[in-house]
């Protein structure tokens, strides 16, 4: 009998400790007892509202609790910020597809701005770029149907489709919202990362990173080694209209240029578990040549992490215009086996403690381009090398113009090389 009593006491104590620990963990996670209690109350209200709608809504076929719950969650999360969202099974699948770097679509990076699907940057060499989509274009119609009011997942799903099929896109362009209709042939998007590697003039190399994908750092190193073999002594690294990509790859890129152990980026959130730091790990094997980085408002996310780290470390000078300002961390938090939340949980900071989100990175040397200049440079970068000059002028109706940002970068490199042993 005494054994049974002792056993019961042990069991009750263990359960009490377990429940107590769980309660303490929940309270800590909520940021205190007050927040915990308020969240429990509101959850109870939501549950009651769902039950009342399901029981008394006037339509003869009541909405299912599953549909109501999904709608409530989606609305609640979408009101937080443009990057947080509720993920049902289809959305989770789509997210996995997007991060795999291979899908059927038009190849543009988009964001929701003022609830309108807006092009951050077309991926270089993509169907969207070839068809003429530009940074800042507001996509308002797909295949004759308005997408205004749809969220980003719904809008993007209408742009995607089987490779080889076409999609008609209606956009509003510029401050006057000029209507432009564009037809794009979907393709299997295999993301290219490093492009345009060339020697600009004696000793000065150039290359562009289109986005930060799985192969970026290895492709970048191979391109740099080839330029060094060709006599490069200073590099222009072009991050203009680079919409970002993978964080670890951005860190790998910075590692090519800064000392081992140097802070690259860190995050801060409400809870300590969201606070992280990333340091360079390269065993001292870095490139030491002069470096200038080109940026503009289409440089976002991972490209801002690279630009901020290289600027704060003094390793390179930034030329161009202030970057986009997308520096928040989205974590995938599971709700069930088939649903979850993509929730903004922290913000990125440069090594010097500057918050990137909604601020952007300011260049060391500001060189602004008008929308017309940018549009023309965009066209000539992608078209001029593929056709004779006369044909280019006849087709696009303008003479090639000077890239003022690139010319400024070249001047800075020449000045730095002139002061060195080179």
Angle 400-404-405 (CA atoms, 0-180°, nearest 5)?
125
What does the pLDDT look like over 313-327, one tens digit per residue? 999 999 999 999 999
Cite the active site residues.
Answer: 301, 312, 326
pLDDT value for 5: 62
What does the pLDDT look like over 226-258, one tens digit per residue? 999 999 999 999 999 898 888 999 999 999 999
Q: Is 259 helix (H, G, I), strand (E, B) or coil?
A: coil
State the CATH class of domain 102-190.
Answer: mainly beta
| Domain regions of the chain by residue span | 102-190, 194-418
Stronger pLDDT, 379 or 192, i.e. the higher one: 379
Alpha-carbon distance of 182 to 242, in angstroms, equals 22
Long-range contacts of 312-316 (CB under 8 A, 24+ apart): 312/350, 312/351, 312/352, 312/354, 313/258, 313/262, 313/351, 315/257, 315/258, 315/291, 316/237, 316/257, 316/291, 316/292
pLDDT value for 38: 60
Average pLDDT on 80-84 reads 86
What does the pLDDT look like over 148-191, one tens digit per residue? 888 776 888 889 888 889 999 999 998 888 999 999 999 887 66
What does the pLDDT look like over 45-78, one tens digit per residue? 777 877 787 777 777 576 777 788 888 888 888 8
Lowest mean pLDDT among 29-38, 103-112, 209-218: 29-38
pLDDT band at 92 (very low <50, low <70, confident <90, very high): confident
Which pTM value belongs to this model? 0.70
Q: Which residues contact 50 (CB under 8 A, 6 or more apart)?
A: 65, 68, 69, 72
- CA distances in angstroms from 19 to 24, 33, 261, 356, listed in the order given: 9, 16, 42, 41
Angle 323-79-136 (CA atoms, 0-180°, nearest 5)?
35
pLDDT band at 195 (very low <50, low <70, confident <90, very high): confident
Fold that domain 194-418 belongs to in CATH: 2-enoyl-CoA Hydratase; Chain A, domain 1 (3.90.226)
């Amino acid at each position: 009998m005494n054994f049974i009593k002792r056993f019961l006491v042990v069991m009750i104590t263990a359960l009490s400790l377990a429940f107590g620990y769980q309660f303490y963990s929940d309270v800590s996670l909520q940021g205190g007892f007050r927040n915990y209690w308020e969240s429990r109350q509101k959850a109870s209200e939501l549950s009651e509202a769902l039950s009342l709608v399901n029981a008394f809504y006037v339509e003869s076929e009541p909405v299912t609790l599953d549909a109501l719950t999904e709608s409530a969650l989606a609305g609640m999360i979408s009101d937080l910020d443009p990057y947080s969202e509720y993920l049902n099974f289809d959305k989770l699948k789509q997210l996995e597809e997007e991060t795999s770097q291979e899908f059927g679509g038009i190849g543009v990076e988009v964001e929701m701005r003022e609830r309108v699907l807006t092009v951050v940057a077309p991926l270089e060499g993509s169907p969207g770029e070839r068809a003429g989509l530009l940074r800042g274009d507001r996509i308002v119609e797909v295949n004759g149907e308005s997408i205004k009011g749809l969220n980003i997942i719904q809008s993007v799903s209408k742009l995607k489709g089987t490779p080889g099929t076409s999609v008609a896109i209606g956009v509003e362009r510029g401050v006057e919202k000029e209507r432009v209709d564009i037809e794009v042939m979907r393709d299997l998007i295999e993301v290219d990362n490093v492009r345009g590697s060339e020697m600009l003039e004696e000793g000065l190399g150039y290359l562009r990173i289109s986005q930060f994908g799985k192969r970026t750092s290895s492709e970048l190193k191979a391109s740099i080694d080839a330029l060094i073999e060709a006599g490069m002594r200073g590099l222009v690294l072009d991050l203009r209209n680079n919409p970002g990509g993978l964080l670890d790859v951005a860190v790998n890129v910075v590692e090519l240029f800064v000392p081992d152990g140097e802070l690259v980026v860190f995050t801060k959130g409400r809870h300590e578990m969201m606070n992280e730091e990333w340091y360079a790990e390269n065993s001292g094997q870095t490139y030491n040549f002069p470096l200038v980085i080109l940026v503009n408002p289409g440089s976002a996310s991972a490209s801002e992490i690279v630009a901020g780290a290289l600027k704060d470390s003094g390793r390179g000078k930034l030329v161009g215009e202030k970057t986009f300002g997308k520096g928040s961390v989205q974590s995938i938090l599971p709700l069930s086996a088939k649903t979850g939340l993509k929730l903004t949980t922290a913000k990125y900071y440069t090594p010097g403690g500057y918050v990137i989100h909604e601020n952007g990175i300011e260049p060391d040397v500001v060189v602004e381009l008008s929308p017309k200049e940018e549009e023309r440079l965009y066209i000539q970068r992608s078209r001029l090398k593929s056709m004779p000059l006369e044909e280019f002028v006849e087709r696009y109706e303008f003479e090639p113009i000077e890239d003022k940002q690139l010319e400024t970068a070249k001047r800075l490199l020449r000045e730095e090389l002139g002061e060195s042993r080179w």
